Structure formats: structure tokens, C-alpha cells
């Protein structure tokens, strides 16, 4: 055969260049689909299966797709170059799209010639199959072309090339020829399924890079396994006293971040073959299962990679935050600072831009250095257990100052005292007990009264600079909202 086109099963299906039917409609949903786009959405192996499915449905009058122009059910057809297009189930002349033309005389002559050529090959394969099966004592009633009548209640008649029994399986063998059309493949499948028997397609030869249309119909309809019986496999069967065929199958393998196929050819004994009557498949290798597992593996690897990348990004961000936090603290606490000096404001603006870029900036066009300074002093005072930056001598005085001047800082201050273990210092200086009394009196209002609430931007900055010490919990504790206020 000349000019065979063979397509990688995992490649995207290709439509013919100018399909006669360019749009189809889903009669159930009413959706109109562009044919070229629709076909391109399938991998080749799935397009082949879709083609079989549409054909089977049309036989049962269950059209899945109809011609958008005339409403006649359509099925998927494949050109000799393995490009796909849609055909009307029947052509009644009412549709401008003509998809079924009669065969030319030359076509028919060519087919007849091929048929004659093949009948010799057909006879030979049947002989080889008989020899192979007869070599294995487990196969009973190995006969050629015996009429197979449908069981009671079912209709039909088949004459499989070879039929046989084992203790567990009832088998029909058919030799696949190039004139075996999809209709035949499908209808035989149905017949044997109904009979609770298994149809085994036997190919005279096979090569993954030279596949005919019928090869693909059988291959993809059989979970990517095909069986070849030839002189070699028949001799192997006779030598081993067990039925052996050559099996070709696809094996999915991981190549970096994707799945590709490997084609395996090996001789398999009947014991290695799994028969599924319902699916009408017989396989030596479960491609579908292996591909699904590999896909799962790939997804797991991908999410693991993502998790690692995320963790690395988080660490990098934490490093950046540590550096920035240190710089802000050092900047504010710099003993040589002069807050009336203009360059200092410029430096603060730059530092603040970095704070803002990480989500910790203060609101407003001109971020207040005084506010930031107060926050840093609050943190350092809580850490030291003595006023830092505030012009008070005792911790208790600082407490009174906050109560009267900055009630919004009290909660954060309290959390930090607890966190830094400096709470006792507050009451040690409170000789008169006034501070404790004031604090006790306001305790119940602390969470309700808005005057004790820090503006959001300041709260965020304070939490960042105190490493979460200003919040009841850090970070993102489930019992606490972002600001840490709710559970405080």
C-alpha cells in the first residue's frame, strides 16, 4: 500500500482542509459547533473512538450530532490521510453539503482486486491460527467457519473465521483485512457481547508507524492492544504447547513533564491476556489504567513541585521582610538622628516605599514618620520593660500617657508585654495602684470602644515590626482575624 499516513495516537486530530459540512449541531442542547474546531479538540486516538461511538449511536437512531444545515444525523469519517470530517447518514439531495458520493468504477475494481489478493492471505492466517490454538490442549472445539447462531431471544448469525472454547471463555477469532470496515467491527462486537462471548481480532501484521484505518479502529477500540498471528507466533505456540500470539501495545511513559507512548511488541501466552466480555476487549497490557496512573503521578509531581516553589518563595519573602524590619527599627532608633533634617525625610520616604511594596505601608501620600516612630518606640519599650523613646522615666508613667494620649495603642501594648514577658514591670512602677485601677476599670471597654482601635495601616505596621507580638496570635491563627482584635 502506498502513501499510508499514520498518526501519533496522542497527536491532535486534524480536520480535512475544506469540510463540506462545516458546522454541526447538538440536537439535545442546540449548540452549534464549528467542525474544524471541534475535531481539533480531540487527540487522534479519541477521535477514532468518537467516530465509532457516533456510528454506533446512529445505528441505534440516537444521533449525538446533526448537520447544522439540514438536521440529518452525521457521523465522523476519516480520509485516507487520517483527517476527519462529517458525513450525512443519508444523502437526500436537500442539503447543499454533499458528503456521500458513489464509488467510481475504478474504486470498485481496485477493491475487488484487493479482495482477491487478500483472500489468500486470509486463508493462510486462519491456518496459522488453527495450528496455534490446536497446540494448546486448553482450547476445545477449535473449528473454522462454523455458523454461530444467536442464542435464544437474540437475532443474528455469524460465521467467525475460527471459534474455540476454554473452560472460562467462549471465543470467536476474526482475521482483520483491509476491507474490514468499521461497521463490521462494531456490529460484530455487539453480537458477541450479547452472546457473552469474546471476539478476538487477529491481524496478519502490524507496525505502529504504518497503520491502516481498520488497524486504528481495532487498536483504539481494544485499549491500544492488537494481536498478530504469523508464522513465527504459530511456531512458538507449537514449540511451547500453549497458545501464543504477538501483541503490539502502547505503553505510556513519562518524559519530563509529559506522557509519551512507547510501542511494545512481544509474544504473549494466552495466560497473560485479560478478557473483558462487557467491553469486548482482550489485552496483554492495560494502557488506559497505566496512562491514568501516570497522569496521576504527573499531577502529584507537579503539585509537589509547586509546593516546593511556594515554600521557597515564602522563605525568600521572609528573608526580605527580616532585612526590611531591621532597617526600619535601626532607622527610627538611630541615636544620631535629627528628625528636623530634610534628608532624613527623604530616606524615610524611600524606606516607606519598600514597606508599602510588601504590604505594610502607612496610608496617605506622605507617610507620617512621627506615627512610625511612635510605633517603633512602643515596641521597643514593651520589649525592654522600660520606656524607650518616650520622655518618661517609669513604665507606669508611660501607661498613664497611653491611656490619655494614645488609647488606640493600649491593646497592642498589652499583647506585647505578655509576649515579651515584661508585664510585671508595668505594675512594679505603679506604687499608688492608680494605673492598675484605671486599667481594670476600662478592661471591659477595650474590645468594644472604637477609641481603643488602632487604624488598620498602623496596626499592620506594628504587627510587622513586632513580629506579630502586638497581636494576640500570629500569623493567621484560625481563632483570630487579620488584626488580632477579635480574640484579644
Closest CA to 81 of 169, 130, 19, 16: 16
Report the nearest approach of Zn ion to the CB of residue 79 (Å).
19
Part in contact with Zn ion (CB under 5 A); list of ranges 95-103, 225-233, 361-369, 421-429: 95-103
Nearer to Zn ion, 71 or 295 (CB): 71
Give min distance, CB of 70 to Zn ion, in A.
Answer: 3
| Interior angle at CA 353, CA 351 and CA 358, nearest 5 | 100
Q: How far is the CB of 91 from Zn ion (least distance, A)?
A: 9
Between 90 and 391, name the residue whose CB sits nearer to Zn ion.
90
Interface segment toward Zn ion; rule CB under 5 A; list 97-105, 114-122, 132-140, 176-184? 97-105
- Whose CA is closest to 55, among 170, 184, 175, 233? 184
Q: How many residues in total does the chain contain?
A: 488
* Binding segment toward Zn ion, per CB under 5 A, in 67-75, 77-85, 405-413, 457-465: 67-75
Interface pattern 347-386 for Zn ion (x via CB under 5 A): ----------------------------------------
Closest to Zn ion by CB, 69 vs 242, is 69
Residue 15 DSSP code: B
Determine which residue in the list 16, 58, 95, 439 makes contact with Zn ion, applying CB under 5 A: 95
Kindly tell me which residue out of 70, 184, 275, 403 binds Zn ion, with binding defined by CB under 5 A.
70
Burial (CB < 10 A; 0-12, 13-18, 19+), residue 53, is middle
Under the binding rule (CB under 5 A), the answer on residue 67 touching Zn ion is yes
- Asked if 91 is part of the footprint of Zn ion (rule: CB under 5 A), the reply reads no
Alpha helices in 334-394 (DSSP H): 342-357, 369-384
Segment near Zn ion (CB under 5 A); pick from 91-99, 207-215, 251-259, 287-295? 91-99
CB under 5 A: which stretch of 61-69, 202-210, 369-377, 401-409 binds Zn ion?
A: 61-69
Shortest CB 77 distance to Zn ion, Å? 14
Residue 37 Cβ vs Zn ion, minimum distance, rounded to whole Å: 18
Residue range at the interface with Zn ion (CB under 5 A); choices 60-68, 144-152, 245-253, 401-409: 60-68
Find, among 143, 229, 219, 148, the residue nearest to 180 by Cα.
Answer: 219
Pairing of β 198-203 and β 225-228: parallel
Number of residues that bind Zn ion (CB under 5 A): 5
d(CA 250, CA 42): 18
CB of 31 to Zn ion, least distance (A): 17
Nearest approach, Cβ of residue 309 and Zn ion (Å): 52
Q: Cβ(378)–Cβ(409) under 8 Å?
A: yes
Q: Closest CB to Zn ion among 6 and 34?
A: 34
**Which of 62-70, 176-184, 254-262, 412-420 is the region at the interface with Zn ion (rule: CB under 5 A)?**
62-70
Query: Where are the alpha helices (H) located in 60-208, listed in sequence order?
Result: 105-134, 182-194
Of 96 and 256, which CB lies nearer to Zn ion in the complex structure? 96
Q: Nine-digit cell at 366?
A: 506622605
Bridge partners, residue 73, by sequence = 66
Touching Zn ion, residues 185-204 (CB under 5 A)? none
* Cα–Cα dist 19/294, whole Å: 36
Angle at 214 between CA 196 and CA 1, to 5 degrees: 150
d(CA 159, CA 150): 11
Report the alpha-carbon distance of residue 24 to residue 215 in Å, rounded. Answer: 28
- Rounded to a whole number of angstroms, the CA Rg of the chain reads 40
Under rule CB under 5 A, residue 23 binds Zn ion: no
Nearest approach in angstroms of CB 224 to Zn ion is 34
Per CB under 5 A, which region of 93-101, 137-145, 224-232, 279-287 contacts Zn ion?
Answer: 93-101
Q: Among residues 74 and 213, whose Cβ is nearest to Zn ion?
A: 74
- Alpha-carbon span 436 to 40, nearest angstrom: 77
Nearer to Zn ion, 35 or 130 (CB): 35
Report the first-to-last Cα separation within the chain, whole angstroms: 83
Looking at beta carbons only, is 72 or 463 nearer to Zn ion?
Answer: 72
- Interhelix angle 369-384/287-333, nearest 10 degrees: 90
Q: In angstroms, what is the minimal distance from the CB of 179 to Zn ion?
A: 28
Cβ at position 272, least distance to Zn ion in Å: 48
Query: Which of 34, 69, 166, 373 lies at the binding interface for Zn ion (CB under 5 A)?
Result: 69
Please enumerate in sequence order all residues whose Cβ is within 8 A of that of 194, keeping only pairs 6 or more positions apart, or say none: 150, 151, 154
Please list every residue from 394 through 453 that binds Zn ion, using CB under 5 A: none
Q: Cite the beta strand spans of 192-255 per DSSP E.
A: 198-203, 225-228, 244-255
Question: Cβ distance 224 to 249 under 8 Å?
Answer: yes
Binding site for Zn ion (CB under 5 A): 67, 69-70, 95, 97
Amino acid at each position: 500500500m502506498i502513501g499510508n499516513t499514520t498518526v501519533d495516537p496522542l497527536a491532535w486530530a486534524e480536520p480535512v482542509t475544506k469540510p463540506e459540512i462545516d458546522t454541526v449541531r447538538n440536537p439535545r442542547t442546540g449548540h452549534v459547533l464549528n467542525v474544524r474546531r471541534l475535531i481539533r479538540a480531540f487527540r487522534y486516538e479519541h477521535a477514532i473512538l468518537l467516530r465509532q461511538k457516533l456510528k454506533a449511536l446512529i445505528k441505534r437512531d440516537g444521533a449525538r450530532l446533526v448537520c447544522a444545515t439540514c438536521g440529518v444525523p452525521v457521523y465522523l469519517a476519516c480520509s485516507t490521510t487520517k483527517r476527519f470530517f462529517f458525513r450525512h447518514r443519508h444523502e437526500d439531495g436537500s442539503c447543499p453539503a454533499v458528503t456521500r458520493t458513489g464509488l467510481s468504477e475504478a474504486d470498485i475494481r481496485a477493491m475487488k482486486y484487493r479482495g482477491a489478493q487478500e483472500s489468500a492471505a486470509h486463508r493462510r492466517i486462519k491456518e496459522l491460527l488453527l495450528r496455534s490454538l490446536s497446540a494448546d490442549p486448553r482450547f476445545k472445539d477449535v473449528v473454522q467457519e462454523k455458523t454461530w447462531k444467536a442464542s435464544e431471544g437474540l437475532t443474528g448469525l455469524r460465521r467467525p473465521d475460527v471459534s474455540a472454547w476454554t473452560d472460562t471463555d467462549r471465543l470467536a477469532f476474526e482475521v482483520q483485512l483491509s476491507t474490514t470496515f468499521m461497521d463490521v467491527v462494531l456490529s460484530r462486537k455487539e453480537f458477541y457481547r450479547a452472546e457473552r462471548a469474546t471476539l478476538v481480532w487477529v491481524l496478519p501484521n502490524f507496525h505502529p508507524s504504518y497503520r491502516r484505518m481498520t488497524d486504528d479502529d481495532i487498536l483504539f477500540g481494544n485499549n491500544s492492544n492488537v494481536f498478530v498471528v504469523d508464522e513465527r507466533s504459530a511456531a512458538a505456540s507449537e514449540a511451547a504447547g500453549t497458545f501464543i500470539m504477538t501483541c503490539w501495545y502502547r505503553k505510556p511513559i513519562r518524559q519530563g513533564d509529559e506522557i509519551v507512548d512507547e510501542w511494545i511488541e512481544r509474544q504473549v501466552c494466552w495466560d497473560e491476556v485479560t478478557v473483558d466480555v462487557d467491553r469486548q476487549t482482550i489485552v496483554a497490557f492495560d494502557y488506559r489504567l497505566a496512562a491514568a496512573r501516570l497522569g496521576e503521578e504527573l499531577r502529584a509531581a507537579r503539585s509537589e513541585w509547586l509546593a516546593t516553589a511556594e515554600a521557597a518563595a515564602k522563605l525568600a519573602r521572609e528573608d526580605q521582610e527580616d532585612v526590611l524590619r531591621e532597617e526600619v527599627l535601626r532607622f527610627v532608633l538611630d541615636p544620631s538622628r535629627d528628625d528636623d533634617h530634610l534628608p532624613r525625610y527623604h530616606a524615610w520616604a524611600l524606606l516607606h516605599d519598600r514597606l508599602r511594596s510588601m504590604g505594610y505601608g502607612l496610608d496617605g501620600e506622605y507617610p507620617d514618620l512621627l506615627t512610625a516612630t511612635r510605633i517603633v518606640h512602643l515596641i521597643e519599650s514593651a520589649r525592654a520593660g522600660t520606656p524607650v523613646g518616650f520622655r518618661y522615666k517609669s513604665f507606669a508613667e508611660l501607661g498613664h500617657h497611653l491611656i490619655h494620649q494614645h488609647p488606640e495603642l493600649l491593646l497592642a501594648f498589652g499583647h506585647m508585654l505578655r509576649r515579651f514577658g515584661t508585664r510585671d514591670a508595668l505594675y512594679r512602677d505603679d506604687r499608688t495602684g492608680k494605673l492598675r485601677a484605671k486599667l481594670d476599670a476600662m478592661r471591659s471597654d477595650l474590645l468594644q470602644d472604637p477609641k481603643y482601635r488602632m487604624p488598620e495601616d498602623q496596626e499592620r505596621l506594628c504587627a510587622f515590626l513586632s513580629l506579630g507580638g502586638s497581636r494576640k496570635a500570629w500569623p493567621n491563627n484560625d481563632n483570630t482575624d487579620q488584626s488580632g482584635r477579635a480574640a484579644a
